[in-house]
A and B are shown apart, each in its own frame.
Chain A
Amino acid sequence: MNSLTLIVCSLLYLSLLFLIAYWAEHRTHTRRSLVNNPYVYSLSLAVYCTAWTFYGSVGRAVSHGMQFLTVYIGPTLAAPLWWLILRKIIRICKAQRITSIADFISARYGKNRGLGVFVTGLCVAGIIPYISIQIKAIATSFSVLSGQAGNASEGLFLGDQAFYITLVLTIFTILFGARTLEATERHEGLVTAVAFESLVKLVAFVAVGLFVTFGLFNGPTDIFQQARAIPALRQQFTFGPGHTSGDWFWNILLSMVAVLFLPRQFQVAVVENTSEKHLDKAIWLFPLYLFVINIFVLPLAFGGHILLGDLPIDADNYVLALPVQYGREGLALLAYIGGFSAATSMIIVETIALSVMVSNNVVMPFLVSRSNWQNRFGAVSSTFVINIRRLTIVLFLVLAYIYYRTVSQQFSLVSVGLISFAAVAQFTPAIIGGIFWKEGNRAGARLGLYAGTAMWFYTLILPTLVPGLLPPTLLTEGPWGIGFLRPQNLFGQTDLEPLAQGIFWSLLVNVLGYLWGSINRPQSALEHNQAVLFVDIFRLSRSDESSVVWKGKVVVSELQRLLTTFFGADWANRVIERYTSRHAPATPTSYADARLVTYCEKLLAGAIGTASARTLVASIAKEETISVDEVIRILKTSQELLSVNRELKRKSTELEQMAQQLSEANERLQAADLNKAEFLSTITHEVRTPITSVRALAEILYDTPDMNDHSRQQFLGTIIRESERLTRLINQVLDLERFESGRLQLQLEPVLLRDIVRQAIDTIQQLIREKNISITVQHDIPPTPVRADHDRLMQVFINLLSNAVKFCEPNQGRIAVLTSADGPNLIVSITDNGVGIDPAYHELIFDKFYQLHHKTRDKPTGSGLGLAISRKIAELHGGSIRVESQLGQGATFTVRIPVD
């Protein structure tokens, strides 16, 4: 295949990625996000599978047998633990606006700048070679396909295709990863493109696998039988001397943590995560992906070895070489694009993650700690941050390219990848300890990281410099001839292969350092605060109060100015306004309260990292020193508050369920009622009043164990009465909703109105007697049956009668009930001699929640819905209710029901 075709195809493919990313971003802006679903999320996690998987697995299978599987078994075994670990990390990062692994560690250990810089440095040192082997993979695949095998890096700098590919990737990465500065640091276009690439590489690999297995051989059985005949292969697939379970164990452990803590994995799994729920599916989808992409590794390895074993072709290239050798150009191109996908997605995501780290954890903390930074950069800060990221992206890709040109030629894909894994594995004690162990502290994290990294360098990196920079005797006889210091056989151990023993020693000293430092060194107040916030995130994250440990004094306008520099004036104003109107008011010149300061700090942290944000806020704040005791007291208070809330919550489950029904009813009402907004706000108000009493009284009861019996009884009695009031209110709202939505059908049957009236009077007999009211009933017509709903009419009469009782003076009240007829209607009228109603209100009283305030001091005790419901019932019967009254002269309510 000629080089031009390949270049055009590569560019076309990249353009397609551009389009996809652009389209996805567009959908995000129109609020139809593609990324917000578990499938895209799981696919994006598959950025884990790089060119190393795509090409290297086959090579590894040929040279090391089944061991290639360890890097997939690890994540698969660890996936169920994600629910425990990854979910917690995601929650913490969302709460604290953490945007990278360096930020995470720096934030956990007291927003420490040094740690952030160190972690970033280790990432860069560990990952650049890893990026460079991706470039190498692209270049190699290019030369295999274009028939220039073996001389990929020959020729001039400018004559090397890999250079141009690196260039194009740089542009792509900058366009989608470092275009604007946002407080969440999420890139939906990029994630979509990465998910798409995951699909492409899977399809391509499986396609080649199917072709080899069923096209070149007669199915898998055929391949395996032929492979058995080859001694070199047999030996690799038989456990014996040279294979130890220790190697397997350490490799699996390594990949378990790498899948979480590699910068690119952290980026897609945590920073780009849109919902914790997506984890539920990703926990099985991602392992499934790994399984599928590995199915054909062995058939390809064996098939390649059987068919191409005699040719000078590196086993890493079998995936491409097989279709090429057998003249399948289309398939070869597909395989090339698949490998290209695997490499580019890794390069892009990894570089972006690293650039965010460098800008937020190295450059910004350094700059903002200079006192005059704002004068110099104040006006252009957001552009400035972006430019730093762009610059680092260019720098890293150039470095990776140089590394590729100079060093990487002598290593296989897998070995470089594993050394990178081992670098990020050094973060494990600090992170896992950090989210589960409050006593883990900065001294421990530092000690562990430094020791682990030193050991990583000594056992894994030094040997790669032999024989170039260092003499081979270093490995065979040890430095200065000291045998037990041999990097690959430290302290004389010979059971593990070099990589496994490097992992073992580095993690061992790391964990020991972490434990020793944490146990023996003190923790500062800020550290302790962060430790509690991290470890107890699930208990605290619902509460705003969780992070109120800023005791500084900051003027609101200063905070606003700070936000403006990074996010623009409009956005900053909105944030401050929204916050102050919701929580606590503030004028530009007043001091911001602690929550506002913390909130702003978190927003800034999202854009420039936790340590920089802390320094910046501190620079405008007069921070008062805060003691450990104080921090603990504050945290305790907020925890107690939470436990009180839980207690109350348990007690009011029933009420909550009703509130739930109520809100469902509201939703239906909304559709029907034109005055819905007003109606809802009234209901809310009406519901809040009894809830306020219940909550206040219950909290006082809870907080006052030594309350005297009289008060206790009074409080409990009030709580019960208010709960009943709430129940009544909710039932009536539900009734009304059922009537208005037409969901309640009347149960029509022949009834006698006079019977219903009598039963209604019986029901409220108690009330009538209590107020000593006289009641008379008179029937002007003989008993006439009407078709009506007995229970509902009873509800109407009870409501009208109890209103009459309520508004009568005790001992002087008189109520007269009269049944009569008017043409086709039967009439029941109820007359009282109570306070009466001004004619101006005759219609209003039938409105929902309309309540008249009378001269009596008591607030009306009803729900304000009785008359509205009564009128509705009468209307459903084809009738009506009216009132006649003058203020101070009693009132007459007339119910009309048609006879037929």
Chain B
Amino acid sequence: MLTVVIADDEPNILLSLEFLMKKEGHRVFIARDGAEAQELIDAEKPDLLLLDVMMPKMNGHELCRYVRAQPDLNHAKVIFLSARSKEADVQAGYEAGANLYIPKPFSTRDLVSRINQLMKPVG
């Protein structure tokens, strides 16, 4: 079971991601903006973060850099889910420290299988 923090300012996308992650058996925490997400990160020390890029108060890139700066979150994986899919956007996502950048709209099965692949123990 993983601890997952999901941040997106579209409530309907949150709805679907939350359901999906719970169905996979994870502990799920949701945030409607960057600041809320930051609080959850501090409190819950997630293993996995699913982040929108454009959010009020603190955007996905800033959040991701914040996660990367926490020594006790070394293991955490960050996945961006964004409707911006230009090469430059993808590039910026990875530069911010993401493990995966998945363009919206995404396939839920694909998302789940890529998460499983990502979270598989190394070796």
Contacts and interface: CB of A to CB of B under 8 A. Distances in A.
Interface stretch (B15-23, B60-68, B69-77): B15-23
Interface string A570-608: 000000000001100100000000000000000000000
Interface string B17-49: 101100100000000110000000000000000
Contacts of B86: 681
A696 B16 contact: yes
B107 A697 contact: no
A703 B113 CA distance: 14
A581 B87 contact: yes
A685 to B, nearest CB: 5
A681 B89 CA distance: 12
Nearest to B88: A581
Contact of B15 (A637, A697, A853): A697
A899 B107 CA distance: 55
Secondary structure at the A interface, as helix, strand, loop or mixed, is helix
Contacts of B13: 689, 692-693, 696
Contacts of A694: 105
Contact of B83 (A640, A692, A711): A692
Contact of B23 (A581, A585, A684, A704): A704
Contacts, number: 81
A696 B106 contact: yes
B10 A859 contact: yes
A697 B13 CA distance: 8
A852 B56 CA distance: 11
B121 to A, nearest CB: 16
Interface in B102-119: 104-110, 113
A688 interface: yes
Nearest to B17: A696
Contacts of A829: none
A207 B10 CA distance: 75
A718 B15 contact: yes
Given A585-B90, A857-B33, A859-B10, A711 B19 contact: yes
Interface residues of B, number: 29
A581 B84 CA distance: 13
Given A693-B10, A699-B109, A688 B83 contact: yes
Given A692-B104, A695-B105, A704-B23, A581 B90 contact: yes
A688 B104 contact: yes
Interface string A629-660: 00000000100110011000000000000000
Nearest to A694: B105
Contacts of A692: 10, 13, 83, 104-106
A685 B32 contact: no
A542 to B, nearest CB: 14
B90 A699 contact: no
A581 B91 contact: yes
A722 interface: yes
A693 B108 CA distance: 11
Contacts of B15: 693, 697, 714-715, 718
A292 interface: no
A700 interface: yes
Contact of A693 (B12, B84, B101, B109): B12
Contacts of B56: 853, 857, 859
Contacts of A703: 108-109
B108 A700 contact: yes
A691 interface: yes
Interface in A668-706: 681, 684-685, 688-697, 699-700, 703-704
A389 to B, nearest CB: 37
Contacts of A853: 56
Contact of A685 (B12, B33, B84): B84
A641 B109 contact: yes
Contacts of A690: 12
Contact of B108 (A681, A696, A857): A696
Contacts of A718: 12, 15
B10 A641 contact: no
B10 A689 contact: yes
Contacts of B20: 696, 700
Contacts of A691: 104-105
A645 B110 CA distance: 12
A245 B94 CA distance: 72
- For the complex of A and B, 6 pairs with smallest distance between CB atoms: A693-B12, A696-B16, A688-B83, A692-B105, A692-B104, A699-B108
10 contacts: A689-B10, A692-B13, A695-B106, A695-B107, A695-B108, A696-B105, A696-B108, A704-B23, A722-B12, A857-B32
Interface of A: 581-582, 585, 637, 640-641, 644-645, 681, 684-685, 688-697, 699-700, 703-704, 711, 714-715, 718, 722, 853, 857, 859
Interface of B: 9-10, 12-13, 15-17, 19-20, 23, 32-33, 56, 83-84, 86-87, 90-91, 94, 101, 104-110, 113
Given A581-B90, A688-B105, A853-B56, 6 more contacts: A581-B87, A585-B101, A645-B107, A684-B83, A692-B104, A693-B10
